[in-house]
Structure 1
Amino acid sequence: MDEVTLKKIILLMMERDALDNFIFEQTFQKKIISKFKNLSKNQPVVIKIIGMEGEIMPSTIGRYTGMDKSSLTRMVDDLERKGLVFRKTDPEDRRKVLVSLTEKGLECYNYSNQILDELLKLVDEKDIEDYVQSLETMVRILRKAVSQQIR
C-alpha cells in the first residue's frame, strides 16, 4: 500500500472515531444516562446489545464490546444490582449463563431505540444502506487483520 492511501485510511479512521464518539458518547449515552441516572458510560451500550439479542452469553457481549471477562462480569453484576438485567442458566447447557433485561432494562432499551430513531431520521434510507454496507466491509477487513495477527 502506498503512503498516500495509508495516510488517507488513518485520517478517515480517526475522523470516524471522533464523529462516532460525538454521536454515541456525547448524544446517545448522555441522553440515556441523564434519564437513567445511575448508569456508567458503557452500560447503555451493553443494555442495547442485550436488548437486541434478548438473551445473550456474557462472552458474546465481550465480543461486541471488546471488554475482558472480568470487566464484563463486574458490569453485569452492577447492572443486576441496579435491577436492569438478570442471569439465568441456559436450559440447553447448564454450564452456560444467559443475561436478559428486566422490565426496567427493557424501559432503558426502548428509550435508547427512540434516541437512535431520532438520530437516524437525520439521514435518508440510501445513506443508511451505504453506512451498513461500509460497516460490514470494515468489520470483514478488521476480522481478517485480527486473524492474521493471531497466526
Structure 2
Amino acid sequence: MAYEDDALERMHRIMTEGRSAMVENMNRVHRGEPAVMRELAVKGERTPSQLADATGNSAGRISAILSSLEKKGWVTRTIDPENRRKVIVRITPEGLRLVNLHKKAMDDRVRWVFGQMGRRRTEEFLSLFEAMMTYMSLCGPGQPMPDEDAIRAAFERNGIPYEPAEDRETVLPDDVKDKFIMHRCGQEGDDTAKDADAANPGKDQS
C-alpha cells in the first residue's frame, strides 16, 4: 500500500473514531442555528434563500431554524416594503451578543489545544494545514488536475512559499484516471484508423 493510501486511511480514522465533543459541536455550528446567526452577524441582513445557500440547508430546514431563532428573540423577519414577496432576516442585539460569546468560547478552546501542542508543533500544523487547503482548492471533483504552474500560482496567491516535497508522487484520482484512459483509448483508436488508411491508400473514403 502506498503511503498516500496509509495517510488517507489514517485521516479518516482520526476524523471518525477520534471524533470529540468539540468536533461534533463544530459540525453542528456549521449547519444549524449557530451557522445562521454567524452568517447574519458577519453579512448583515439576508434573505432565507441566501441563508440556505450559505449554510448548506434546505429551504424547509432554514424556515424551521428561523422560526426557532425568532421565538428566542435572536432574529427578526420582516417583509421588504419594496417587494412584498421578499423576506428580510436580521440578527437582534441579543443574538449578536450570543454570537460573540460563542465565538470567544470556541476561540478559547482552540487556544487551549494550541497551548497543549506547543509553539513548534502548532506552527508546523498551521503551515501544513495551509498547504493542504491550497492543494485541495485546486482539485475539486470533476476538475482537471492542476499542472505545476497552476499549483505555484495558487501558493503565490495565498502568500505561501511553494516548496514541492522531494518525495512527492502524482496519484491520479479514479475519476481523472478514467477520463485519461478513455482519452488515450480514443487517441489510439484514431491512430489505428490512420494506420489502416495509410496501409490501404486506395480504399474508398466515403
Which TM class, normalised by the smaller chain length? Answer: 0.5 to 0.7
For residue 45 of structure 1, what is the aligned residue in structure 2? 35
Cα pair distance change 1:82/1:139, threshold 3 Å: farther
Equivalent residue in structure 1 for 2:98, among 108, 132, 135: 108
1:84/1:104 contact within 8 Å kept: yes
Secondary structure class of the residue paired with 1:55: coil
Matched, 1:25 2:24: yes
Matches within 5 A, 1:76-95: 76-89=66-79, 95=85
Tell me which amino acid in the other structure corresponds to 2:24.
E
For residue 66 of structure 1, what is the aligned residue in structure 2? 56
Secondary structure class of the residue paired with 2:141: helix
Query: What is the alpha-carbon distance in structure 1 between the residues aligned to residue 60 and residue 4 of structure 2?
Result: 38
Secondary structure class of the residue paired with 1:145: coil
Secondary structure class of the residue paired with 2:95: helix
- Runs of 5+ consecutive residues of structure 1 not aligned to the other structure: 33-40
- RMSD over equivalenced CA pairs, Å: 4.1
Tell me which amino acid in the other structure corresponds to 1:56.
R
Query: What is the alpha-carbon distance in structure 2 between the residues aligned to residue 129 and residue 24 of structure 1?
Result: 21
Equivalent residue in structure 1 for 2:141, among 124, 142, 145: 145
Secondary structure class of the residue paired with 1:121: helix
Cα pair distance change 1:62/1:100, threshold 3 Å: same
1:43/1:75 contact within 8 Å kept: yes
Q: Deviations 1:63-119 (Å, cap 9, x if unpaired)?
A: 343221101111111111111111245678665433221112112101112112202
1:84/1:105 contact within 8 Å kept: yes
Identity of matched residues, %:
21
Query: What is the alpha-carbon distance in structure 2 between the residues aligned to residue 133 and residue 146 of structure 1?
Result: 21
- Runs of 5+ consecutive residues of structure 2 not aligned to the other structure: 145-206
TM-score using structure 1 length: 0.61
Aligned length: 136
TM-score using structure 2 length: 0.48
1:28/1:116 contact within 8 Å kept: no
For residue 5 of structure 1, what is the aligned residue in structure 2? 4
For residue 111 of structure 2, what is the aligned residue in structure 1? 121
Tell me which amino acid in the other structure corresponds to 1:111.
L
Query: What is the alpha-carbon distance in structure 2 between the residues aligned to residue 93 and residue 140 of structure 1?
Result: 40
Tell me which amino acid in the other structure corresponds to 1:25.
E
Higher radius of gyration, 1 or 2: 2
CA apart distance, 1:132: 5.3
Tell me which amino acid in the other structure corresponds to 1:78.
S
1:28/1:112 contact within 8 Å kept: no
More helix by share: 1
Query: What is the alpha-carbon distance in structure 1 between the residues aligned to residue 109 and residue 11 of structure 2?
Result: 21
Cα pair distance change 1:115/1:134, threshold 3 Å: farther
